[in-house]
């Protein structure tokens, strides 16, 4: 019986791209999780330098639940001050500046008298607080706030430092605006949801503080934060931008990484239970079609399936070819991985971009009305993630169905020892099928839709926000599908008595059996699914098998069995 590994293999299902490298400032700009002196919490520290932070910063901010300490670098503060001063100089020149001394959208030709400029910004925020639907999760809202800080810190938005400082204090002190999830078409930025954020800055709206939803003014007061009186362009800079759609897409990316890592571990266990052949995963075969994701997935599978009794038994198997759901794991999951990589690159760029309008160019002292607020890159990234989630779940459901089919897998029908009297996994596969079909329906590209708004001024929109918002539910569905396959794979392995797998997969198998007993006889299976899904959602199965979504593609030995 293989022993427990002393060093767990760290296999990366979704390796860090070049966009993740430290290239802006020294290590102080990195997000660090540091244990507090009392050992009771971790502080997430982040320095915004005015250039793109590595995506690992945003991942840690989203995943970690401890206190936050965000700060602005000296360079970024200088850029913000310079941009704010330029706003005032341009305003004093008397030239029309969109959204500063003019109206908005189709009302841009209306000049605003100087005494009404502050009122204009306040009215802009309040008039756009029209979001509906369930509010965004706290983890996403924290990302939205930090991303808005990063965008303003580029020094092209014309806001005063106090605006950035107030946003930072809201994150650091735990004042999280209540942001309804619906109401943005992802075109002129996420106007409605960002207006709900901006409303709290001026003492309006609602916010979560100390675990309760409170009026915005009360939440600020309890946190010791002074509400703002918005200056020229500041309301426009706050409501304009892609920070909500980007935060939702980043959250979807991070959840997809976890799903991908789990799918690798569970898929490998299904190969074992089915006595599937590993020959199709060989390096020589894969090198004939060298898509990056395909090569990496095949490499991981070779490492997970490099030894054990199942390997020996599979060589004596009677199947000439395995079904696609087993044989084509590198091709399908690899293609999904390539989509995830592309989405990660896009979102890393977007997270550090200036996406409001107009933008101020400090070097030439220009203010330009442009279109950086359009969410098309985010919409495409979200659509790619949706397709990947749908495919991962759909293929997982097929592996479950295969394991349950006695004529194909050679295992007992529906993985029960007394079929007829007991139904075994029959109904579990129905649930997996339902969830897979639901994800297929949701994976229709949002970016191909458009509907004109604002009197046809905003006549071609991206739909990035709801395209990204669906990803959380899709990831939940994919997790549940994988949880069902995990139960089936472990049950199938158990139906081949005396057989052991490789160390990584045996560790994952032991983890499952520590939470869920054998399901050979019927009992209340919802308890088993709940327990298995908890392991999947927390990444415990992938971790037990040595697969990590956030690190480079490595193993403890560094070797790749070929």
Catalytic machinery residues: 98
Which residues touch 491 (CB under 8 Å, ≥6 apart)? 273, 415, 425, 518, 519, 520
- Among 147, 144, 146, 162, residue whose Cα is nearest residue 234: 162
Q: Which residues are CB-contacts of 424 (< 8 A; sequence separation ≥ 6)?
A: 404, 412, 413, 414, 415, 416, 519, 520, 522
Q: Which helix (H) or strand (E) holds 472?
A: helix 464-494
Extract the tokens encoding 378.
Answer: 């985010």
Whether the CB-CB separation of 31 and 46 falls below 8 Å is answered with yes
Q: Assess whether the previous peptide bond of 358 is cis (omega < 30° from 0).
A: yes
Q: How far apart are CA 171 and CA 45, in angstroms?
A: 11
- What are the CA-CA distances from residue 31 to residues 172, 506, 558 (Å)? 14, 34, 27
DSSP assignment of 311-354: HHHHTT-S-SS--HHHHTHHHHHHHHHHHHHHHHHHHHHHHTS-
| CA nearest to 255, candidates 361, 165, 389 | 389
Closest CA to 167 of 189, 200, 208: 200
Q: What are phi and psi of 35, to 5 degrees?
A: -70, 130
C-alpha–C-alpha distance, residues 314 and 142, integer Å: 49
Contact of 413 with 421, CB cutoff 8 Å: no
Class of residue 105 by CB neighbours under 10 A (exposed 0-12, middle 13-18, buried 19+) = middle
Range list of β-strands (E), 89-224? 132-135, 176-177, 180-182, 206-209, 212-215
């Amino acid at each position: 019986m293989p022993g427990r590994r002393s060093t767990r293999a760290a296999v990366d299902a979704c390796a860090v791209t070049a966009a993740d490298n430290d290239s802006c400032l020294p290590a102080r700009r990195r997000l660090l999780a540091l244990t507090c002196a009392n050992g009771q919490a971790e502080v997430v520290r982040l320095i915004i330098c005015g250039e793109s932070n590595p995506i690992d910063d945003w991942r840690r901010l989203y995943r970690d639940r401890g206190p936050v300490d965000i700060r602005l670098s000296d360079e970024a503060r200088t850029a913000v001050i310079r941009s704010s001063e330029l706003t005032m100089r341009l305003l004093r020149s008397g030239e029309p500046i969109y959204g500063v001394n003019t109206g908005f959208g189709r009302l841009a030709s209306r000049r605003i008298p100087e005494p009404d400029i502050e009122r204009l910004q306040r009215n802009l925020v309040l008039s756009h607080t029209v979001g509906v639907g369930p509010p965004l999760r706290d983890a996403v809202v924290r990302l939205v706030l930090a991303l808005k800080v990063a965008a303003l810190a580029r020094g092209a938005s014309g806001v005063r430092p106090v605006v950035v400082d107030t946003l930072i204090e809201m994150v650091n002190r735990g004042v999280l605006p209540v942001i309804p999830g619906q109401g943005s078409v992802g075109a002129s930025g996420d106007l409605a949801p960002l207006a709900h954020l901006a409303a709290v800055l001026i003492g309006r709206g609602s916010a979560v503080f100390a675990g309760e939803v409170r009026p915005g003014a009360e939440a600020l007061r309890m946190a010791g934060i002074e509400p703002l009186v918005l200056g020229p362009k500041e309301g426009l800079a706050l409501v304009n931008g892609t920070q909500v759609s980007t935060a939702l897409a980043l959250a979807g990316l991070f959840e997809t990484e976890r799903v991908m890592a789990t799918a690798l571990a569970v898929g490998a266990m299904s190969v074992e239970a089915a006595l599937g052949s590993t020959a199709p995963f060989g390096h020589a075969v894969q090198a004939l079609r060298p898509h990056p994701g395909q090569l990496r997935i095949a490499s991981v599978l070779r490492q997970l399936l490099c030894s054990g009794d199942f390997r020996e038994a599979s060589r004596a198997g009677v199947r000439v070819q395995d079904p696609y759901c087993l044989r084509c794991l590198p091709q399908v999951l690899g293609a999904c991985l390539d989509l995830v990589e592309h989405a990660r690159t896009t979102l890393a760029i977007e997270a550090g971009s200036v996406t409001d309008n107009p933008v101020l160019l400090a070097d030439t002292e220009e203010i330009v009305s442009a279109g950086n607020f359009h969410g098309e890159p985010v919409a495409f990234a979200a659509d790619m993630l949706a397709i990947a989630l749908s495919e991962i779940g759909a293929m997982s459901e097929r592996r479950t169905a295969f394991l349950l089919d006695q004529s194909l897998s050679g295992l007992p029908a529906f993985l029960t020892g007394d079929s007829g009297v007991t139904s075994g996994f029959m109904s579990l596969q129905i649930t997996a099928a339902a969830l897979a079909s639901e994800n297929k329906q949701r994976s229709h590209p949002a970016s191909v839709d458009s509907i004109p708004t604002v009197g046809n001024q905003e006549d071609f929109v991206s739909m990035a926000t709801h395209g990204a918002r669906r990803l959380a539910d899709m990831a939940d569905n994919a997790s549940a599908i994988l949880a069902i396959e995990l139960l089936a794979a472990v049950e199938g392995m158990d139906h081949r008595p005396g057989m052991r797998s490789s160390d990584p997969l045996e560790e994952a198998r032991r983890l499952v059996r520590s939470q869920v007993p054998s399901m050979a006889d019927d009992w209340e299976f919802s308890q088993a699914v709940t327990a298995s899904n908890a392991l999947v959602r927390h990444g415990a199965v992938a971790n037990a098998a040595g697969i990590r979504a956030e690190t480079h593609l490595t193993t403890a030995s560094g070797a790749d069995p070929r």
